Amino acid sequence: MTLAPASGLDGEELDALRDTVRAACADAGGTAAVRRLGEGPGYDETLWHLLSREIGLGGLGLPRGDGGLAEVAVVCEELGRVLAPVPFLGSTVLAGQVLAQCGPAAEAAVAAVIAGEVYALAVADADGVWRPERLAVTAHRTPEGWVLSGASPFVVDGGAATTFVVAAVTGDGVDVFTVPATDPGVHVLATMCLDLGRPQAMVRFTGAVGSPLTADGAGVAAVTAGLDRALVALSAEQLGGAQACLDMTVVYAAQRTQFGRAIGSFQAVKHRCADMLLRVETARSAVLRAVAAEDDPTALAEAAAVAQIWCGEAFTWIAEETVQLHGGTGFTWEHDAHLYFRRAVADAALFGGASHHRERLAQLLGW
């Protein structure tokens, strides 16, 4: 059962976009695409080709690409609904949005992302958080150009990337560089990941040559602004996943019979489903509110933090309850519940987790 997202992200064009992405994901087999991944590049190349190049979503929300944050949110919500294993979040959103903040120097890189090439963002510290003062990658100017050294963990879609968008400490602060994955000084280690549909990598730079996109420490503002937009997209993905969990749980609770009645008729189960809906609809409000703040960076930073705090915790709780309300079936490998559970826990940990965002919110609000 699917509830119409009344007063959600709708309107004729957004509805058409939603339908297109939903149909493409359904044709790819829905969550079966995650289970098919196996050894390959860590994403569904056919689906990504279709989405990024044929449908043209590779540059969604980027300068000279189409659409804004509303379109990005709709796509993330739909991809999140089926855990579609494509580098939309890693490349178009994370790398793309940071590149978009880097001005003219990043034009070629943005064009490549728009064309569907996979870029990956490497800006996390050892705890997976964007804290420029704790970055472990440094960049030095040499006669050959800028040379980067150090480790960058938790790089989303790093294994598939042709190019890394890297934040590195220079003498002037933190700046953003692009580094091709083929540089002999780049070492990519695909890591074991909780989320089976979204790989991460540990990337080590040993004298890799980078092209600077910002100068004089302007990288901090660029990454922060890009990540704020990416947090909204991540929240939309969590909303989609949470809605999918609620939908499958309601269907199951209405049809599974124990003690001679559908388990959904028991208040202990029904009330849990009601609480799931409350969290899903609140998540939708959070995403809508953040999308509406798109053109005001100060309001967007606050709304992105609010959305990520709510959506991260809501999706995690809903995924836990989805396993629980499916009983033993929900604990099997064959059932999809654990795929969502894995995604929920991993998503909530991207870029700091709720306690990090709460503290950031407190600072943004001047407490």
Partner 1 sequence: MTELDQWRARVREWLSATLPPKAADDAGDPDDLAVFHNLSVAAERALLARARAYQRAKFDAGYQALTLAREHGGRGLPAAYAMVLAQEEARFAVPPSTELISVTVGLVGSAVSVFGTPPQRERFARAFLRTDLLACQLFSEPGAGSDLAALRARAVRDGADWVVSGQKVWTSGARFADYGMLLARTDPSVVKQAGITAFLVPMDADGLTVRPIRQMSGGASFNEVFLTDVRVPDALRLGEPGQGWEIANATLAFERTASGAGKRRKGGSVQDVIALARRLGRAGDPLVRQRLADLYVRATLHASTVERVANATAAGRRPGPAASITKLMAAQTLTLTGQVAAEVLGARIAADTGEPGTFAWTQHVLGAPGYRIAGGTDEIQRNIIGERVLGLPGEPRVDKVPFSDLPRT
The residues binding partner 1 (CB under 8 A) are: 1, 3-8, 250, 253-254, 261-262, 264-267, 269-271, 273-275, 277-278, 281-282, 284-286, 288-289, 306, 309-310, 355, 357-359, 361-362, 365, 367
Q: How far is the CB of 38 from partner 1 (least distance, A)?
A: 36
Q: How far is the CB of 288 from partner 1 (least distance, A)?
A: 7
CA distance 54 to 81: 21
Decide: 237 and 9 in contact? Cβ < 8 Å.
no
Decide: 130 and 136 in contact? Cβ < 8 Å.
no
Beta carbon nearer to partner 1, 3 or 108: 3
What is the four-CA torsion angle of 298, 300, 306, 312, rounded to 10 degrees?
Answer: -140
Beta carbon nearer to partner 1, 54 or 275: 275
Beta carbon nearer to partner 1, 194 or 354: 354
| Residues in CB range of 88: below 8 A, 6 or more apart | 48, 51, 52, 57, 60, 75, 76, 79
Q: How far is the CB of 19 from partner 1 (least distance, A)?
A: 18
Beta carbon nearer to partner 1, 192 or 268: 268
Q: How far is the CB of 262 from partner 1 (least distance, A)?
A: 5
Q: How far is the CB of 156 from partner 1 (least distance, A)?
A: 25
Beta carbon nearer to partner 1, 266 or 317: 266
